[in-house]
Chain A
Amino acid sequence: MSAGVSAWLPFARAAAIGWMPVANLPMPVAPAENCGGQHHHRKDELVVLNVSGRRFQTWRQTLERYPDTLLGSSEKEFFYDEASREYFFDRDPDVFRSVLNFYRTGKLHYPRYECICSYEDELAFFGIIPEIIGDCCYEEYKDRKRENAERLQDDLDDENKDKAKPPNMTSRESMWRAFENPHTSTMALVFYYVTGFFIAISVLTNVVETMPCGAAPHHKEVSCGDRYTVAFFCMDTACVLLFTVEYLARLFAAPCRVRFARSVMSVIDVVAILPYYIGLVMTDNEDVSGAFVTLRVFRVFRIFKFSRHSQGLRILGYTLKSCASELGFLLFSLTMAIIIFATVMFYAEKGSTSSKFTSIPASFWYTIVTMTTLGYGDMVPKTIAGKIFGSICSLSGVLVISLPVPVIVSNFSRIYHQNQRADKRRAQKMQKARLSRLRMSKTGSSSAFLHSKRNGLFTEALELTTCIEQEQRKDTSLLESQHHHLLHCLEKTTNHEFVDERCYQQSFLDNSSLTRGGYVSSSRSPSPCSQEGVAGTCCGTRDHAPLSNAKGVAAPPPPTYVLHHPPHHHHPTHRPTVREYVTVYL
């Protein structure tokens, strides 16, 4: 029941006049007001809330709309100042505006200029859950919250990096730390620089190997690699040895070896050193030497090992990964344009003699070179139509390529400033969780009625409907008890009862199985669900025993059927006795 319409509760109760002449049963007693005399301020009166000097005033009933918050419950009495007859809160008056507006309008708003931490603190103090923020402000709130969480996470990560070495670390753990954070010890730093140096050396040798190195007289030019084979081989071996040792050491030290083996960096490591070993294993077979040459290409992947040494490289890689959709779109649109223009150029140039545009795939090359504005000039159109379409092609190429590029650039800068970014899909999941929470709070009102019904039935049966009992039950507000009385009147009018879904399913099953078994207990109380006690184990406990009774076996006498309930019955104040059960069953 939302706040605003609680003012309409008298109207709803008055509207129940339509049920009275129709009902066959007597109506329940209305909840008594002003019982005990302490609640003299049930009548509407102005309440002064002094928040750090700024005075807010509102009706008492406005605050009582939400009895499970600080201002709506008796908790605010702790802040009552007798001398000035006002409630004093030593909190932020600006945020309190939003809090009070929540009571007035039923909607919680998040002001944009407010710091997320202070806002959440205030809400927590006043007992309001932030999830009920209205849709208008919810997205902003979630964004800010996420940013804050990322900031905290960054701080935590930084802290972890600079943390002093905890004692009693195993050698394995210390080795792993040395690998991950080279700044922790001098040994790690030395190792870091040595590996970096060797990566550079390895890449350099790969490059120099292919350069022409002067010719011996009367021989053709040979590359350096062929001339100084032994030297290069030794260099290569040394590098690979170091890389292998490093890889094995990392594998040994990793806390989760499987995860390490699957990570990108370790795959790069493996790819970098594998060609060497394959080359060792393979003999000088003529057939496979072609493949062997191809393998050597993979040695260039050693250059990627530098990404362990460079933060910027890692960010670039991460950017490309996160811009996969934009890159994909770029690729797709380019492919579309290439195919279109290649086809057009091919048919335009078909007529001309000695045309290089021999087929559509051959025209792909021309289209790509033109669209990226390279213009090698190895293929040029000769016909007029070809030239016209060629110019259109080059113009559109500029447009198509330059469109997704700013997106990639902005992505890079965004990631550069923040390392982590929550996925949009994760935000969607949070949205779903919030909707289900809102739904739960809506059904909470109906389950609150069922809950209090179970309370009420039991106390009625014990005939303790004195004022004292009602005082004790005052923690449900007067509004709630009036609402429950209204629903109770409806039950009496129609001679049916509200139950929750589980009880409904259960009674449905029971009815069908009972009629099968032919056993109908006439002495059963009209509402077995209400006897299940205050704990919400409504029909969950009925699964165990009674169904077997209803299976068509010779019916056990009613008392034993009914007495299956007691063991699960737990009333908070006293243990139930058999006599009380009998009075309930009537």
Chain B
Amino acid sequence: MKAKNRDQSLSDSRELDGSYDQLTDSVEDDFELSTVCHRPESMDKLQEQTKFTKKELQVLYRGFKNECPSGVVNEENFKTIYSQFFPQGDSSMYAHFLFEAFDTDKNGSVSFEDFVFGLSIILRGTINDRLNWAFNLYDLNKDGCITKEEMLDIMKSIYDMMGKYTYPNMQDDAPREHVESFFQKMDRNKDGVVTIEEFIESCQKDENIMQSMALFDNVI
């Protein structure tokens, strides 16, 4: 008797609420149900195309499928997942740039193949491959060179991830200053843009960057 009352009251509250559409018996909701279900290619194929072992692919896929049962990640989901790692700041902009970099076929969603290809380059590629990938991330309009505006966007997104509570206090021009020092280091011919050759050359000369690139060797 009690359960029936509850169901009754639920339908009544829907009527009073106004968001309930009587004709189609559906409740307006914000998110769309994705009817897409994407299955990745077979593991053998993926193993050929990437440099991961079977076991690693299995672990990666299980984690991927857990968060995205439909088989693809859309940008909202991507941002939500990434923001869980940075509780103090706002990582949505950087997640957006990452999404653009992973979504190589530009269809608005990252499938498992895209995901794994990207990871393969970062985690199992040569230093040059990694630098190429990083350049691709920075080059927002994919025209082969990084302008100061593009770099400023990237820098701001990185600084946003720090959030408000930092020491020393975050100044507003911190990203801009950082961009200036970056261009000083990278822009050889001082033409205001950084091309891929300048980028790779400058990075190879920098000890710190070479060392940090090697960090990715044993992430998985």
Q: Which residue numbers of A lie inside 8 Å of B, CB to CB? A: 1-2, 4-5, 7-15, 17-27, 30, 33, 43-44, 59, 442-443, 445-446, 483, 486-487, 489-491, 493-494, 496-501, 503-504, 507-508, 511, 526-527, 529
Chain A residues lying within 8 Å of B178, measured Cβ to Cβ, are 22, 24, 494
Q: Is B126 an interface residue (CB 8 A)?
A: no
Give me 16 other A-B pairs in contact (C-beta within 8 A), A494-B158, A496-B166, A529-B167 excluded.
A5-B67, A8-B81, A10-B219, A15-B94, A18-B97, A21-B134, A22-B158, A23-B208, A25-B208, A33-B218, A443-B87, A489-B212, A490-B161, A501-B165, A504-B165, A507-B169
Q: Is the interface of B mostly helix, strand, loop or mixed?
A: helix
| Docked complex Cα distance between A516 and B170 (Å) | 20
6 of the cross-chain contacts (CB-CB < 8 Å) are A4-B67, A22-B178, A446-B87, A490-B158, A499-B165, A526-B167
Give the complex CA separation of A30 and B219 in angstroms.
9
- In contact, B166 and A497 (Cβ under 8 angstroms): yes
Partner of B98, one of A15, A22, A500: A15
> For residue B155, which residue of chain A has the nearest CB?
A22
Contact with A along B172-198 (1 / 0, CB 8 A): 001000100110000000000000000
In the complex, what residues of A have CB within 8 A of residue B133's CB? Answer: 17
> Chain A's nearest CB lies how many Å from the CB of B144?
17
Task: Choose among B97, B118, B212 the residue with the greatest number of A CB atoms under 10 Å from its CB.
Answer: B212
B20: Cβ under 8 A from any A Cβ: no
- Chain B residues engaging chain A, CB cutoff 8 angstroms: 55, 59-60, 62-64, 66-67, 81-82, 84-88, 94, 97-98, 115, 118-119, 122-123, 130-131, 133-134, 137-138, 154-155, 158-159, 161-170, 174, 178, 181-182, 199, 203, 208-209, 211-213, 215-216, 218-220
One of B166, B212, B220 near A498 (C-beta < 8 A): B166
Residue of B nearest to A3 (CB): B66
Asked if residues B84 and A498 are in contact (CB atoms below 8 Å), the reply is no
A498 touches B85 (CB 8 A): no
Given contacts A1-B85, A24-B208, A496-B162, contact A17 B134 (CB under 8 A): yes
- Residues on B with C-beta less than 8 A from A25 are 208
Q: Which residues of B contact A486 (CB under 8 A)?
A: 85
Task: Report the minimal beta-carbon distance from A100 to chain B, rounded to whole angstroms.
Answer: 15
Which chain B residue shows the least CB distance to A13?
B219
Q: How far is it, in angstroms, between the C-alpha of A8 and the C-alpha of B167 when the chains are bound?
A: 28
> CA separation between A469 and B138, bound complex, in Å?
39
The 4 closest A-B pairs by CB, nearest first: A7-B63, A504-B165, A496-B166, A27-B212
| A9–B169 touching, CB < 8 Å | no
Complex partner residue of A22 from B123, B165, B182, B215, CB under 8 angstroms: B182
- Contact at A8–B122, with CB atoms within 8 Å? no
CA distance A508 to B166 in the complex (A): 10
Q: How far is the CA of A25 from the CA of B159 in the complex (A)?
A: 15
Could you tell me the distance between the alpha carbons of A9 and B178 in the complex, rounded to whole angstroms? 27
Give the complex CA separation of A72 and B108 in angstroms.
37
Please tell me if the beta carbons of B122 and A17 are within 8 angstroms of each other in the complex: yes
Q: Are B86 and A487 in contact (CB under 8 A)?
A: yes
Contact pick for A24, options B63, B174, B181, CB 8 Å = B181
Q: Can you name the residue of chain B whose Cβ is closest to the Cβ of A444?
A: B87
Check if B67 sits within 8 Å of A14, measured CB to CB.
no
The answer to whether B86 and A20 have CB atoms under 8 Å apart is: no
Cα(A44)–Cα(B54), bound, Å: 13
| Contact pick for B168, options A15, A493, A496, CB 8 Å | A496
A23 CB to nearest B CB, Å: 7
A489 vs B211: C-alpha distance when bound (angstroms) = 13
Partner among B87, B134, B167 whose Cβ is within 8 Å of the Cβ of A504: B167
CA–CA, A504 and B158, complex, Å: 20
Q: B174, A504: Cβ atoms under 8 Å?
A: no
Q: Identify which of A13, A18, A445, A499 contacts B87 (C-beta below 8 A).
A: A445
Which residues of A lie under 8 Å from residue B63 when comparing CB positions?
7-8, 10
Q: How far is the CB of A575 from chain B (nearest CB, A)?
A: 27
Measured between C-beta atoms, what is the minimum distance from B131 to chain A in Å?
7
- The answer to whether A496 and B87 have CB atoms under 8 Å apart is no
Q: Which of B94, B115, B162 has the most CB of A within 10 A?
A: B162
* Bound Cα distance A489, B219 (Å): 14
CB atoms of A23 and B212 under 8 A apart: yes
A472 to chain B, nearest CB (A): 22
Contacting pair B167 A496 (CB below 8 A): yes
Assess the A27–B208 pair: CB atoms within 8 A. yes
B168 CB, nearest partner CB in chain A, Å: 7
Shortest Cβ distance from A26 into B: residue: B208
- Asked if residues A20 and B212 are in contact (CB atoms below 8 Å), the reply is yes
A1 to B, closest residue via Cβ: B84
In the bound assembly, the distance between CA atoms of A443 and B87 in angstroms comes to 7
In the bound complex, what is the Cα–Cα distance between A43 and B174 (angstroms)? 41
Q: In the assembly, what is the distance between CA of A494 and CA of B177, in Å?
A: 11
Q: Which residues of B sit under 8 angstroms from A498, Cβ to Cβ?
A: 88, 162-163, 165-166
| Partner among A1, A27, A493, A500 whose Cβ is within 8 Å of the Cβ of B165 | A500
A40 to chain B, nearest CB (A): 15
Across the interface, name the chain A residue whose C-beta is closest to B161. Answer: A490
A10-B212 contact given A15-B98, A24-B181, A507-B167, CB 8 Å threshold:
no
* Contact indicator A30/B218 (Cβ below 8 Å): yes
Provide the bound-state CA to CA distance between A504 and B84, in Å.
22
B220-A10 in contact (CB<8A): yes
Most B CB within 10 A of own CB, among A494, A497, A508: A494
The complex places the Cα of A355 from the Cα of B161 at a distance, in Å, of 83
Which residues from B are CB-within-8-Å of A499? 165-167
Q: How far is the CA of A238 from the CA of B113 in the complex (A)?
A: 98
Report chain A residues within 8 Å CB of B64: 7-8
Enumerate chain A residues within 8 angstroms of B85, measured Cβ to Cβ: 1, 5, 9, 12, 483, 486
Residues of chain B lying within 8 A (CB to CB) of residue A10: 60, 63, 119, 123, 219-220
Assembled-state Cα–Cα distance A11/B85 (Å) = 11
B158 touching A18, Cβ below 8 Å = yes
Q: Is there contact, CB below 8 Å, between B137 and A18?
A: yes
**B170 — nearest CB in chain A belongs to which residue?**
A496
Q: Hey, which chain A residues are within 8 Å of B216, CB to CB? A: 13-14, 17
Q: Are B154 and A18 in contact (CB under 8 A)?
A: yes
Rounded to whole Å, the gap between the CB of B211 and the closest CB of chain A is 6
Inter-chain contacts of A30 with B (CB < 8 A):
215, 218
Query: Which of chain A's residues has its CB closest to B202's CB?
Result: A21
A7 touching B215 by the CB < 8 A rule?
A: no
Q: Cβ of A526: which chain B residues have Cβ within 8 Å of it?
A: 167-168
Is there contact, CB below 8 Å, between B67 and A8? yes
Closest Cβ neighbor of A61 among chain B residues: B59
